């Protein structure tokens, strides 16, 4: 049982959430679970999107995707990423995408 608890703790704590008082962008607020707790991208991608052992660095992935590709990834969850379909709407996806684009690349 102790081993299972240790594994569960490691899995839950992979990414560090950016503190709410340091965020001004609505997309970054969503990404960090500050607006809707079930939108918790930071857990796998880190609060700044730089990645963790659970999720890739989005600076490497984002430039390869169109905005539609980003939305599809969020909604369908490629690979081991969970689907956020039903948890996030189109304007929220657009806000997260806009924040990521502003941070890492320009849209295709």
Tokens for 3, please give them. Answer: 């081993």
Tokens for 84, please give them. Answer: 């956020």
pTM of the model: 0.82
What is the CATH code of the structural domain delimited by 2-104?
Answer: 1.10.760.10
Q: How do the domains of the chain map onto residue ranges?
A: 2-104
36-81 confidence digits (pLDDT tens): 999 999 999 999 999 999 999 999 999 999 999 999 999 999 999 9
CB distance 92 to 29 below 8 Å = no
Positive/negative CA dihedral, 72, 74, 75, 78:
positive
Tokens for 34, please give them. Answer: 């500050």
Place of tokens 């969970």: 82
Tokens for 63, please give them. Answer: 């430039």
């Amino acid at each position: 049982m102790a081993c299972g608890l240790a594994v569960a703790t490691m899995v839950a704590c992979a990414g560090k959430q950016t503190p709410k008082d340091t965020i001004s962008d609505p997309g970054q607020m969503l990404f960090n679970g500050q607006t809707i707790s079930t939108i918790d991208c930071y857990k796998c991608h880190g609060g700044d999107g730089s990645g963790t052992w659970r999720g890739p660095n989005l600076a490497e992935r984002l430039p390869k995707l169109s905005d539609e590709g980003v939305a599809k990834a969020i909604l369908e969850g490629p690979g081991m990423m969970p689907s956020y379909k039903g948890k996030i709407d189109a304007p929220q996806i657009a806000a997260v995408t806009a924040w990521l684009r502003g941070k890492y690349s320009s849209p295709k």
